Structure 1
């Protein structure tokens, strides 16, 4: 049986992977798919792909595009979540900051350089007309637990993370949400190491076929809202709202979207150059 290693964030977006693994669907087709959680997010997954610790990553679109341009020998083979990611902008509960503009020139907590939380701080700064050189400062905090410690202790001033994932921390009075910043593109893609694609095309097609069958009918799974609420300790009404605005995809990201993302990243000096569509994607 072929062992394939895949990574992703331990969040509600990836529940479909958990369900298909639990049901043994990959093993039925001769694939031993091993899932690894990456609570640190995109930067850690990019490193794992480069180090061959994983073969496949379910990863933020802008993060993997940046890393492929920086030399990561991987390709995007499919969009996973078509809708934007809604990044909540959070401060400590007792912080004096009330609105987004109060954060101009303060320190953003980021999981690591090159991560989604890092890149989105630039998008948020641009959206609000800040000076990208003078008004952005960073404190590396690794993950959500690091952000709690960083904001509570005052080492950092604000933290951007997916709104619904951090909602329990807002409900519990640890963070306050003072605004949101949606990505201007589909949020998650499936990226695969080039050498793995070269030798495992049929296994890769099988894995995508199984996950796509589940995501295409995900919202119709009986009591899926309750399952998500229980598993991820979220309020049922928050989960229902999230389900209503989230759409999965079973297709490869299109050329126009890739061009838009690269144009934005280049304007923010996050990437040094743009690459042709074919250098970033692979159509199975």
Structure 2
């Protein structure tokens, strides 16, 4: 049986995957950590270093719309929006979103969620062409935090609860947040990866997702797992669990979600609709995922 290489990022959303990995013990898949987030996973797809990943919906769709062919969507994962924190240095001069016009914003990689959501923020705020931010690639989470403290960048955007411990410790500050206007996490895979192995992986992961997401788990064990694994404050984990909604069925992709996300990304200047329009098979591997 083919052992899958699964790209992931160290975030509490991936708790069911970690529980699955602990039970699997490397017999059917291995985890490949990608500290640079979805942008790093896209690079690893192109270089053939991962077979499947759980990553940000917007960045995956934007990559496909902008010509990436190394992966396609094979499933869905989280149905709720993602809360992106707007993060600045502990002693920076930036205190509100309005202060960020025309500044240099840190991103992990070109095409990453951190860049896409900075563009969405600009669109939502109605900034003019002259007020558009510039971007500086800083790679992983630690260099991004260092960059706002050195003044090299004004802010960067990252998931709220992942960043909160660094705010609590006084390393960085929040000056706002922005929510994704789409379900925040999806699953993508190499088109060349064996469909049978992908389906088996998704089916088993679905069991772990549903167990983690059950009322009995949410009332205690899920909180304990996130606190112990990610060293977050219990009250933050409880707040996060109250807001997050997992998908019940993973091996499906909604055409409406793809279409709606593309429309918003185009308004934000991230993608451009081709003359012939979008074709769903550009985005979805229907040998694995059912279109709904």
**What TM-score results when the alignment is normalised by the length of structure 2?**
0.90
- 2:200 corresponding residue in structure 1: 206
- 1:280 corresponding residue in structure 2: 283
SS of the residue corresponding to residue 128 of structure 2 reads coil
2:57, 2:186 within 8 Å by CA — same for their partners in 1? yes
2:119, 2:269 within 8 Å by CA — same for their partners in 1? no
- 2:152 corresponding residue in structure 1: 155
State yes or no: 1:64 paired with 2:60: yes
- 2:77 corresponding residue in structure 1: 80
- In the TM superposition, what is the alpha-carbon distance from 1:43 to its structure 2 partner? 1.2
Classify 1:49/1:132 alpha carbon distance in 2 versus 1 (closer, same or farther; 3 Å).
farther
2:107, 2:137 within 8 Å by CA — same for their partners in 1? yes
- In the TM superposition, what is the alpha-carbon distance from 1:106 to its structure 2 partner? 1.4
SS of the residue corresponding to residue 151 of structure 1 reads helix
Structural RMSD (CA): 1.6
SS of the residue corresponding to residue 31 of structure 2 reads strand
Q: Which runs of 5+ in 1 are unaligned?
A: none
State yes or no: 1:115 paired with 2:87: no
SS of the residue corresponding to residue 23 of structure 1 reads helix
Q: After superposition, what is the alpha-carbon deviation per residue over 1:210-264, rounded to whole angstroms, capped at 9, x for unaligned? A: 1101111213335221221122121100000101111111242311111111111
- 1:239 corresponding residue in structure 2: 237
Q: Return 163-172 or 69-78, whichever deviates more.
A: 69-78
2:74, 2:188 within 8 Å by CA — same for their partners in 1? yes
Q: Return 126-135 or 160-169, whichever deviates more.
A: 126-135
* Alpha-carbon distance in 2 for matches of 1:55, 1:144: 24
- 1:218 corresponding residue in structure 2: 212
| Residue of structure 2 aligned with 1:36, choices 32, 37, 40 | 32
| Residue of structure 1 aligned with 2:226, choices 225, 228, 235 | 228
* Alpha-carbon distance in 2 for matches of 1:133, 1:258: 30
State yes or no: 1:143 paired with 2:144: no
- 1:21 corresponding residue in structure 2: 21
**What TM-score results when the alignment is normalised by the length of structure 1?**
0.93
* Alpha-carbon distance in 2 for matches of 1:134, 1:118: 16
Q: Return 150-159 or 99-108, whichever deviates more.
A: 99-108
SS of the residue corresponding to residue 216 of structure 1 reads helix
